Amino acid sequence: MDRKNKVMLSVTNGVVNKLNIDKQVITILEKCRNLNHLKQLQSHLITLGHSQTQFLTFKLVRFCILSLSNLNYARLIFDNLHSPNVYLYTAMITAYSSQPQYKNSTLILYRNMIRRGGGEGEKPNHFIFPHVLKCCSEISETLGTKCLHTQILKWGFGGYPIVQTALIDSYMKCSSNVLIARQVFDEMSERNVFAWTAMVSGYARFGEIGNAVCLFEKMPERDIPSWNSVIAGFTQNGLFLEAISFFRRMMDVGEHGNTNCEIRPNQVTVACVLSACGNLGMLHLGRWIHGYIYRNRITINSYSVNALVDMYGKCGNLKEARQVFDQTSERSLTLWNSMINCLALHGQSENAIGVFEEMMERGGTVRPDAVTFVGLLNACTHGGLVDQGYEYFNMMTRDYNIEPEIQHYGCVVDLLGRAGRLEEARKVIRGMKIEPDEIIWGSLLNSSKVHGRIDLMKFSVERLIEINPNHAAYGIMLANTYGEVGNWDEVRRVRKFMKEQGVKKTPGCSWIEIDKHVCEFYSGDKTHPEDIYKTLDSLVSCFSFQNAVTS
């Protein structure tokens, strides 16, 4: 056999051997069940001289990440490779970015890859950037994303839709970058549904609901996350009627619309709409959604269960709230907090405290947080349990190292104030580590009014006006306070000040659910059909006549 044929045979055998080894490794990996099995395979490859083979190392790293969920050992294999290629870097960066505790590791690994420089195999690909951008926005909202954007343009990946969408999402994590995100969006030649949804949800997150809805209406195609982004935006910004309206529209599109994808509510949808129902007191719709969840076998996760308990509680149906709570075997801290707060809200103080004690009897699997103690303090306030409430307030910092927030101080001031212990309430306010807000001074004002402390009423109202001089109710309260002590000169001065400032009282509002629709009524408005006002006038006349007869 001549030299040329020998070389050809050697190459052929080498290729065949490589293919055989690759096939053998894949077959063995399928049978691996634990880390020891993987280590045996790794040792075998090292013995055969394949410790630096990129493809085989990639297979080991991927198996370690996906099948064994062992990022530390995957990183150990990775670090022992002299020159990892872009696919190995991508595998490690993808794994790190999916774990909150490894966000910094993602950025450090990306930086190391860039610094290694020269080799073609070490240049990033467009699949890496979405994962790195995700971590940039969470660690350094502004600077990190802009720096990476510059590198993306330098490497020539600025026109890739997957990268552009990730840039939009990353910029939208910071309110100061909304305009940059919109610029990236407007420059996209091909906008997929993910890019549209990223912009819509970003606008909604920062309260720019008008822009969110305007962009949503322009979407050529909508999927479930795009509907959810608008509904969630309405709910988070207190526009509960609008959230319900879009939910009904979503249901109508799902039943009758011509769309490429099936539009049906998921866990996110029902959680948002149930929150809106709870805040509006729409028990009928909330029950319908509860039934819809079971009829359509929507997966019940912790968010859905919490939303159901919260909705029933806010609507005053504590029986069904407790029933949902009791039927849930794995209870998250959020669910415990919802049940405690529901009971506290409706004055069932002993039951709320009982739920807390039941939670603590679970053996420390769930530890109370700041929200838990807000519920407990509210329960004690409604039940007049002053000493017990004050003990819970001290327990927060003493036993659980939880620093009191403004809500906790507000509860304690209200708790002491209702019991007439106003000087103790003032002492708590003076000892606050944060600036008192309207809720704090409002609590002291109400308690002072109940217990006839004119001096504290005047002091509280003056603080409230300093915080919010355009709130008409505070000016009216101050004028009434001066009137109660006969200081009419001050009454006239306050009223003159309000008139000069153009301060107007916010009209009262109430709503009622009729035939699955919510109607709003503002004090003094004339926007409803005339028959309503005629009926209202007749009721007022009957009531006045009845009073005249009985007196």
Q: Domain of 395? A: 331-403
Co-location of 499 and 518 in the same domain: no
- What is the CB neighbour count within 10 angstroms for residue 241? 18
Q: Is residue 545 in a domain? A: yes
What pLDDT shows up at residue 389?
92
Residue that the structure tokens 């729409």 belong to: 282
Q: Grade residue 121 by pLDDT with cuts at 50, 70 and 90.
A: very low
3 state SS of 141: coil
d(C-alpha 136, C-alpha 106), whole Å = 9
DSSP 174: S
d(C-alpha 512, C-alpha 528), whole Å = 13
Asked if 373 and 392 touch (Cβ cutoff 8 Å), the reply is yes
Q: Residue 14: pLDDT above 50?
A: no
Co-location of 490 and 427 in the same domain: yes
Residue type, 474: Y
d(C-alpha 216, C-alpha 227), whole Å = 8
CATH classification of the domain holding 491:
1.25.40.10
Closest-CA residue to 511 (of 276, 343, 236, 230): 276
Number of domains in the chain: 3
- SS3 annotation, 18-30: HHHHHHHHHHHHH
The dihedrals phi and psi of 519, each to the nearest 5 degrees, come to -110, 130
Co-location of 519 and 481 in the same domain: no
Model pTM score: 0.73
Tens of pLDDT, residue by residue over 393-407, are 999 989 999 999 999
Give the N- to C-terminal CA distance of the chain in Å, as an integer: 128
d(C-alpha 25, C-alpha 314), whole Å = 58
Integer angstrom CA distances of residue 43 from 47, 51, 266? 6, 9, 47
d(C-alpha 225, C-alpha 221), whole Å = 12
Co-location of 499 and 427 in the same domain: yes
d(C-alpha 109, C-alpha 75), whole Å = 10
Q: Is residue 486 in a domain? A: yes
Co-location of 425 and 398 in the same domain: no
CB within 8 Å of 129: residues ≥ 6 apart: 148, 152, 157, 163, 166
Q: Is residue 269 in a domain? A: no
Co-location of 551 and 494 in the same domain: no
Of 377, 403, 429, the domain-final residue: 403
Residue type, 6: K
Q: Grade residue 523 by pLDDT with cuts at 50, 70 and 90.
A: low
Closest-CA residue to 268 (of 230, 315, 295): 230
The dihedrals phi and psi of 405, each to the nearest 5 degrees, come to -105, 180
Q: Is residue 235 in a domain? A: no
CA angle 126, 128, 129 (to 5 degrees): 75
Q: Is residue 517 in a domain? A: yes
How many helical (H) and strand (E) elements, i.e. helices and strands, does the chain have?
A: 29, 2
Of 403, 431, 449, the domain-final residue: 403
Asked if 229 and 204 touch (Cβ cutoff 8 Å), the reply is yes
Tens of pLDDT, residue by residue over 448-489, are 888 878 788 888 878 887 887 766 676 777 777 777 777 787
d(C-alpha 403, C-alpha 396), whole Å = 7
| Ordered DSSP codes for 486-516 | T-HHHHHHHHHHHHHHT--PPPPEEEEEETT
Which ranges constitute the DSSP H helices of 369-513?
Answer: 370-383, 386-400, 406-418, 422-430, 438-450, 454-467, 472-484, 488-501
Computed over every residue of the chain, the mean pLDDT equals 83
Co-location of 475 and 540 in the same domain: no
Closest-CA residue to 289 (of 310, 265, 306): 265
Buried b (16+ CB within 10 A) or exposed e, 408-439: bbbbbbbbbbbbebbebbbebbeeeeeebbbe
DSSP 206: T
Buried b (16+ CB within 10 A) or exposed e, 350-378: ebbbebbeebeeeeeebebeebbbbbbbb
Co-location of 433 and 491 in the same domain: yes
Locate 256 and state its tokens.
């009758």
d(C-alpha 110, C-alpha 124), whole Å = 9
Q: Grade residue 546 by pLDDT with cuts at 50, 70 and 90.
A: low
Lowest pLDDT segment from 147-156, 296-305, 369-378 = 296-305
Co-location of 349 and 395 in the same domain: yes
Q: Grade residue 116 by pLDDT with cuts at 50, 70 and 90.
A: confident
CA angle 520, 521, 524 (to 5 degrees): 150
Helices 86-97 & 128-139, crossing angle to 10 degrees? 40
Co-location of 481 and 532 in the same domain: no
What pLDDT shows up at residue 507?
60
Q: Is residue 434 in a domain? A: yes
Co-location of 438 and 497 in the same domain: yes
d(C-alpha 414, C-alpha 445), whole Å = 10
Closest-CA residue to 80 (of 104, 62, 48, 54): 54
Q: Grade residue 227 by pLDDT with cuts at 50, 70 and 90.
A: very high
Across the range 242-265, mean pLDDT stands at 81
Helices 193-205 & 224-236, crossing angle to 10 degrees? 0
Q: Grade residue 16 by pLDDT with cuts at 50, 70 and 90.
A: very low
Q: Is residue 281 in a domain? A: no
Co-location of 475 and 522 in the same domain: no
Q: Is residue 346 in a domain? A: yes
